[in-house]
Amino acid sequence: MLELLSKGNIMSERKIIDARGTYCPGPLMELIAAMKQAEIGDELEILSTDEGSVNDVPEWINKVGHDMVETTQEGDVWHIIVRKAK
Amino acid sequence: MKILIVGGGMGGTIVANNLARRLESELRSGKAQVTMLSASDQHMYQPGLLYTSIGRMAPDELYRDQRSLLEPEVEFHVDPVVTFDLDNNQVVTKSGKTHSYDQLVIATGSRAAPETIPGLAENSVNCYTEAAALEMLRQVRDFKGGTVGIVVGVPHKCPMIPLEVTFVLHDYFKEKGIADKVQFQYTYPIGRIHALAPVAEWATGEFARLGINTTTLFNMKEVDGNKIVHSEEGETVDADLLIAVPPHRGMQVIEDNNLGGNGFIPTDRHSLKMDGRDNVYIVGDTTNLPISKAGSTAHFEAEAVAENLAALIKFGTSVRDYDGKVFCFIEAGKERATYAMFDYNNPPNPKAPNKAVHWFKMAYNQLYWASARGLL
Ligand SMILES: Cc1cc2nc3c(=O)[nH]c(=O)nc-3n(C[C@H](O)[C@H](O)[C@H](O)COP(=O)(O)OP(=O)(O)OC[C@H]3O[C@@H](n4cnc5c(N)ncnc54)[C@H](O)[C@@H]3O)c2cc1C
């Protein structure tokens, strides 16, 4: 599920990718697909119940050259925010 | 109540037949009506394309007449939808007819879109349409040796294809007696060789045994004329025969009607209703749900939607949620296979591949038609 949220007073949009409880293709693959559609500067927030995402996502983001913004945990859900840099 | 189903593939067909059985008396009395609009009078068994691409299943074996798969009470027209007018509960077809509905089911599927990666369509083959599978057969048959590159776009239909196509081609070249002249270079978008961690772990051992090279975190950016694939991550794969699992999109009609980005419609993961619409259900590859685009997903979703639509008539309310269930066979080469089953709450735990599951999968190639009829 992709929703567009307005980030308060900043004008760009943050896309939420709800990949909770999904194993295949899984959170990182969803993020890769969503990143293709995003514009440079857009932020994407991935929701994942797979703790592996906490390592998988930064590994890919760093390799490809996008930006990690923030990782937080609420209950058993990880919220990982990234920014498209190129 | 008028129920209109758009799309006569795996998802649409199961919704229609399931409804026809549940609503037998309502359809007879005219209290309910089930109509299907599709783009073709034929129904294709898409998994068969993998076998067509290596000459093991003839193209005519892939098809059945769609009308013959439907319960007689289902009204069927080959007349694709061109306009979805959701505010007025109606669609307009290519022939110019307007069909109104009380409840709408959209199951138009997805399509491989190699043209979205520069150079991919011209320099690779794939098994996602009949024409593409026949071209793949031609190139695979003529291949005398060198590097076979396997490249994978996201999202893609059938998550098992990257591994399966590799195992199947490995067997093919071995049987042909040229295995020693063929190197495999398998790539995958994330940091392991398959989305499902246990499957990746098992396949890593198999690939090592077979001498198949792998590059992970490899997402295609462009392909140049020498079949050199450049990745977003800055790496390259140089192939003599390039096998693609192209990135997919939903159907053009979904994009043209602004129903969802890249042709995938925003869908509630439990009710399978289109976001913001109470009488529009989305089934199969067309949803934007982060779950496998597979026939089994379409099948389980279709059963949930049909049960709820019938319940609307019988109880006045829906009665159950879709639980995210997916079941996938995994062909492992050497006449062995395994399977993975999971849902939103239960992760997969596939067993080691064996011959029995392979033969069951072979039987399923025929049983598919019983499944589409809703008999399985
Ligand atoms: C090579 C290959 C191997 C596969 N292997 C497996 C496997 O092993 N296991 C598995 O579970 N899945 C597998 N799949 C995936 C599976 O075939 C699909 O996920 C499944 O068919 C999706 O069902 P669907 O109903 O969403 O779409 P489809 O079955 O693709 O049906 C879409 C329907 O919509 C119709 N349509 C299109 N546009 C319009 C329009 N404008 N108006 C009306 N109708 C329209 C089409 O004519 C078609 O009838 C494989 C697919 C391929 C290509």
Question: pLDDT for A31-76, tens place per residue?
Answer: 999 999 999 999 999 999 999 999 999 999 999 999 999 999 999 9
- Per-chain mean pLDDT for chain B: 96
Q: What is the pLDDT of residue B351?
A: 86
Residues B318-374 have pLDDT tens digits of 999 999 999 998 887 778 899 999 999 998 888 888 999 999 888 888 889 988 888
- Ligand 1 center–CA B103 separation, angstroms: 22
Length of chain B: 376
| Per-domain residue ranges of chain A | 2-67
In this model, does residue B108 exceed pLDDT 90?
Answer: yes
Q: Which long-range contacts (CB under 8 A, 24 or more apart) does B83-87 make?
A: B83/B257, B84/B253, B84/B257, B84/B259, B86/B274, B86/B277, B86/B280
Give the helix ranges, DSSP H, for B238-354.
252-256, 295-314
Distance from C-alpha of B21 to C-alpha of A26, rounded to nearest angstrom: 35
Phi, psi of B55, rounded to the nearest 5 degrees: 75, 20
Q: What is the pLDDT of residue B356?
A: 93
**Are the Cβ atoms of A22 and B233 closer than 8 angstroms?**
no
Nearest by Cα to B41 from B16, B15, B68, B14: B68
CA dihedral defined by B332, B338, B339, B340, rounded to 10 degrees?
Answer: -80
**Minimal Cα–Cα distance from A23 to chain B, Å?**
6
> Do A15 and A34 meet the contact criterion of CB atoms below 8 Å apart?
yes
Instruction: State the closest ligand 1 atom to the C-alpha of B8, by its place in the atom list counted from 1.
Output: 49
Which one of B158, B287, B292, B325 would you pick to mutate in the ligand 1 pocket, going by the greatest count of ligand atoms within 8 A of its CB?
A: B158
Q: What is the pLDDT of residue B14?
A: 98
Q: Of all helices (H) and strands (E), which one includes residue B357?
A: helix B355-372
* Chain A residues close to B324, C-beta within 8 Å: 21-22
Q: What is the pLDDT of residue A5?
A: 43
A56 has a chain B CB within 8 A of its CB: yes
Length of chain A: 86
- The one catalytic residue in A23, A24, A63, A86 is A24
Q: What is the pLDDT of residue B236?
A: 98
> Do B81 and B93 meet the contact criterion of CB atoms below 8 Å apart?
yes
Q: Classify burial at B277, counting beta carbons within 10 Å of its beta carbon; exposed 0-12, middle 13-18, buried 19 or more.
A: middle
Distance from C-alpha of A55 to C-alpha of B115, rounded to nearest angstrom: 32
**Are the Cβ atoms of A64 and B269 closer than 8 angstroms?**
no
Q: What is the pLDDT of residue A12?
A: 58
**Are the Cβ atoms of B345 and A33 closer than 8 angstroms?**
no
A22 has a chain B CB within 8 A of its CB: yes
Q: What is the pLDDT of residue B363?
A: 86
Residues B184-215 have pLDDT tens digits of 999 999 999 999 998 999 999 999 999 999 99
Distance from C-alpha of B193 to C-alpha of B214, rounded to nearest angstrom: 8
Residue A10 pLDDT class (50, 70, 90 cuts) = very low
**C-alpha to C-alpha distances, A75 to A51, A68, B47, B231, nearest whole angstrom:** 12, 21, 40, 36
- Ligand 1 center–CA B184 separation, angstroms: 29
Question: Under DSSP, is residue B316 helix (H, G, I), strand (E, B) or coil?
Answer: coil
DSSP B147-206: EEEEEE-SS-B-TTHHHHHHHHHHHHHHHTT-GGGEEEEEE-SSSSSSSSHHHHHHHHHH
Residues B240-278 have pLDDT tens digits of 999 999 999 999 999 999 999 999 999 999 999 999 999
Per the annotation, the verdict on A24 as an active-site residue is yes
Distance from C-alpha of B6 to C-alpha of B38, rounded to nearest angstrom: 6
Distance from C-alpha of B71 to C-alpha of B65, rounded to nearest angstrom: 13
> Do B105 and B3 meet the contact criterion of CB atoms below 8 Å apart?
yes
Q: What is the pLDDT of residue A40?
A: 95
- Ligand 1 center–CA A25 separation, angstroms: 17
Residue B295 pLDDT class (50, 70, 90 cuts) = very high
Residues B85-105 have pLDDT tens digits of 999 999 999 999 999 999 999
Q: Which residue of B has its CA nearest to A23?
A: B196
Ligand 1: does its nearest atom lie under 6 Å from the Cβ of B250?
Answer: no
Nearest to A21 among B159, B275, B344 (CB): B344
Architecture category of domain A2-67 in CATH: 2-Layer Sandwich (3.30)
Ligand 1: does its nearest atom lie under 6 Å from the Cβ of B263?
Answer: no
Q: Classify burial at B68, counting beta carbons within 10 Å of its beta carbon; exposed 0-12, middle 13-18, buried 19 or more.
A: exposed
**Are the Cβ atoms of A2 and B261 closer than 8 angstroms?**
yes
- The ipTM assigned to this model is 0.92
Specify the pairing of strand A13-18 against strand A43-48: parallel
> Could you give the domains of chain B?
2-109+251-314 (3.50.50.60), 112-248 (3.50.50.60)
Q: What is the mean pLDDT of residues B75-82?
A: 98
Q: What is the pLDDT of residue B376?
A: 73
Which one of B105, B157, B292, B364 would you pick to mutate in the ligand 1 pocket, going by the greatest count of ligand atoms within 8 A of its CB?
A: B157
Give the angle B69-B368-B202 at the CA atoms, nearest 5°: 160
- Ligand 1 center–CA B345 separation, angstroms: 26
Distance from C-alpha of B282 to C-alpha of B26, rounded to nearest angstrom: 23
Residue B18 CA neighbour count, 13 Å, CB half = 23
Ligand 1: does its nearest atom lie under 6 Å from the Cβ of B329?
Answer: yes
Ligand 1: does its nearest atom lie under 6 Å from the Cβ of B4?
Answer: no
Q: What is the pLDDT of residue B290?
A: 94
Distance from C-alpha of B207 to C-alpha of B22, rounded to nearest angstrom: 47
Nearest to A1 among B219, B289, B348 (CB): B289
Ligand 1: does its nearest atom lie under 6 Å from the Cβ of B38?
Answer: yes
Distance, first Cα to last Cα, chain B: 27
Lookup result for tokens 């498209």: A84
Ligand 1, atom 20, lies closest to the CA of B295
Ligand 1: does its nearest atom lie under 6 Å from the Cβ of B127?
Answer: yes
Residues B118-140 have pLDDT tens digits of 999 999 999 999 999 999 999 99
Distance from C-alpha of B118 to C-alpha of B132, rounded to nearest angstrom: 18
Q: What is the mean pLDDT of residues B59-73?
A: 97
> Do B74 and B16 meet the contact criterion of CB atoms below 8 Å apart?
yes
